[in-house]
Copies of this chain bind each other. A is one copy, B any other.
Amino acid sequence: MITIDTRSRVPIYTQLEKQIVKLINLGIYEIDSPLPSVRSMACELGINPNTVAKAYKGLEQQGVIYTVTGKGIFVNSTDMTKIHKLAIKTVKNALIDARNSGIEKSTISEIVNKVWEGADNDSN
């Protein structure tokens, strides 16, 4: 369900964070249900447990998940505001750069339409 591109410039833990957020939004990881343990997730993806832990901790700091010591990590009753703010900031910066490089608004609008209608590609 989660795929990691080791060759991508995007850090592995960032890829993980994004995909987990996606899966939560899709309802595949349900509220108050546990995420795969650090070790099992690491094993499944073929990456180091520390990297998984780093991604989990990042999501925890953003309020997306919460930790119960000795039990595991659970999906929070989704307060996505922090995540949204960050994503919107990223979009805005990308848009400003696009505008500054002379791209037309219509071109962007097309892409917006494509992305929101289109298939479920991933970034990375």
Residues of A within 8 A of B (CB): 6-7, 9, 11, 18, 21-22, 25, 61, 66-69, 71, 80, 83-84, 87-88, 90-103, 105, 107-109, 111-112, 115-116, 120-124
Contacts and interface: CB of A to CB of B under 8 A. Distances in A.
B107 A88 contact: yes
Nearest to A61: B61
Contacts of A105: 112, 116
A98 to B, nearest CB: 4
28 contacts: A7-B68, A18-B101, A21-B100, A22-B100, A25-B100, A25-B101, A25-B102, A61-B61, A83-B101, A87-B97, A87-B101, A87-B103, A88-B98, A88-B107, A90-B94, A91-B91, A91-B108, A91-B111, A93-B94, A94-B94, A94-B95, A95-B111, A96-B115, A97-B123, A99-B115, A100-B120, A105-B116, A108-B116
A109 to B, nearest CB: 7
Main secondary structure of the interface of A (DSSP, over half): helix
| Total copies of this chain within the assembly | 4
A18 to B, nearest CB: 6
